[in-house]
Amino acid sequence: MEKPRKRARTGRAPTPPGRTSRPRQAEVARLAGVSQATVSLVLGGKKQGDAISPETRQRVLDAALSLGYVPDPAARRLAAARNDLLGVFSFTATFPTDVQHSYYPFLVGVEQEAAARGYDLVLFTGSSSGGAGAAGPDALSRVRLADGCLFLGRHVPTKELRRLVGDGFPAVHVGRRDELEGLAWVGADYVSASHEVVARLAALGHRRIVLVREDDDAPASTDREHGFLKGLEDAGLPGGPDAVFRTADPARTLSSERLREWLDDGVTALVAEETDTGGAWRALRTAVDEAGLDCPGDVSLALLGSPPADLADGPAPTGFDIPRPQLGAAAVRLLAALVAGEAADEPLVTCPFRPGATAGPPLHRA
């Protein structure tokens, strides 16, 4: 008599020979002599299954093993009315997948936190051809394929986002967005960080400081300006309109001539905000070089954020660092809570001061 073959200990039996389709729960139920609901409770690990007797549970497990049954992940997700997918949508002209892109570190934090929580990511590229809303008024409707979505970008299509939020779709913006009521967001404490930069410059002896920022109403820019002006006030330094220079075209307006005018007027330190393009910082550095000035000997510079990737090899600018990976992770935590229907909040993330090499004591002019 032929001896029975030993079954490999792989955790489940192989699919029966000649079979091409996946075994279903109904087949497991017939083999075990129980209802399909009982099979679902046992194999799904649902709490209600605790009332099933050990003998019945074992029959179900044995039947599943003999048939080579493996739960269908897609079916489980549909049954739970969730996909375990989180979306990421960028309003920049090109989706930030390049490691040199300023948004890339955000995605690193997003990916790590999502993986730790058992979520997969879907990257929506509807804005890749031209920025916010470029793919049309319904560009954001695709994000509903995910359980919730993170949004990145300086400028956002307010109408479309408001519709998503109004429908109760879980959404989180990376960066403050108070103008969209009901939209959850995580952000960095730009106010305190900008205030500290001014305090450090004042401690070095600077008495006339000017902020250079883009001419728009992006919340991140507003927060930086607020912290900058509060820093001037607390240090007893002159503020007002002359302390803030708004420009839509830094490369054109921040010339070497404009820089010398500031210096002749007693300005000894200039502070630029970080943006997607890094235009203000780039223009300031170019103006200093074209004027033949030494930094920080002739003029001190500070940056409220990180330098553009193409200028990262130069002297580290005095200013602060934006903890992008931490912000990305915080955004995922908040979004996961919203998807689960839980009340949650994330505190502002602190931006550590960066001493840098572009600021020093002011030059005393005759």
pLDDT of the chain, 366 residues: tens digit per residue: 444 333 333 333 444 555 556 677 778 888 999 876 677 778 765 544 456 888 888 898 898 888 887 765 544 544 455 788 999 988 766 566 655 666 788 889 999 999 999 999 998 875 544 444 444 556 677 888 899 999 987 777 778 888 888 888 899 999 888 777 778 999 999 999 999 999 999 999 999 999 999 888 788 899 999 999 999 999 999 998 899 999 989 989 999 999 999 999 999 999 999 887 788 999 999 999 999 999 999 999 999 998 877 666 778 999 999 999 999 999 999 999 998 888 778 899 999 999 999 999 998 654
Q: How far apart are CA 22 and CA 24, in angstroms?
A: 6
Q: How far apart are CA 274 and CA 199, in angstroms?
A: 19
Phi then psi dihedrals of residue 301, to 5 deg = -125, 145
Write down the pLDDT at residue 315. 83
Write down the pLDDT at residue 145. 87
Q: How far apart are CA 269 and CA 246, in angstroms?
A: 16
Write down the pLDDT at residue 341. 84
Q: How far apart are CA 305 and CA 223, in angstroms?
A: 12
| Burial (CB count <10 Å: 0-12, 13-18, 19+), residue 178 | exposed
| Burial (CB count <10 Å: 0-12, 13-18, 19+), residue 51 | exposed
Q: How far is CA 155 from CA 144, 223, 320, in A?
A: 21, 15, 23
Write down the pLDDT at residue 213. 93
Write down the pLDDT at residue 2. 41
Q: How far is CA 184 from CA 288, 330, 346, in A?
A: 41, 12, 10
Kind of pairing between the strands at 318-320 and 353-354: antiparallel
Q: How far apart are CA 304 and CA 197, in angstroms?
A: 8
Q: How far is CA 160 from CA 90, 109, 166, in A?
A: 14, 26, 10
Q: How far apart are CA 229 and CA 86, in angstroms?
A: 38
Contact 257, 224 (CB under 8 A): no
Q: How far apart are CA 70 and CA 353, in angstroms?
A: 53
Write down the pLDDT at residue 132. 43
Helix (H) or strand (E) holding 14: none
- SS3 assignment, position 186: strand
Q: Establish how many alpha carbons lie within 13 A of residue 151's alpha carbon, considering only the half-sphere containing its beta carbon.
A: 32
Phi then psi dihedrals of residue 188, to 5 deg = -95, 155
Q: Which residue has the tokens 């954020």?
A: 305
- Please state at what angle helix 54-67 crosses helix 25-32, rounded to 10 degrees: 120
Contact 276, 216 (CB under 8 A): no
What spatial distance separates the first Cα and last Cα of the chain, rounded to whole Å?
A: 111
- 211-314-260 Cα angle (round to 5): 40
- 144-165-340 Cα angle (round to 5): 70
Contact 295, 359 (CB under 8 A): no
Phi then psi dihedrals of residue 308, to 5 deg = -60, 150
Q: Is the pTM of this model over 0.75?
A: no
Write down the pLDDT at residue 130. 45
Query: How far does CA 46 lie from the centroid of its chain?
Result: 34
| Peptide bond connecting 296 to the previous residue in cis, omega within 30 degrees of 0 | yes
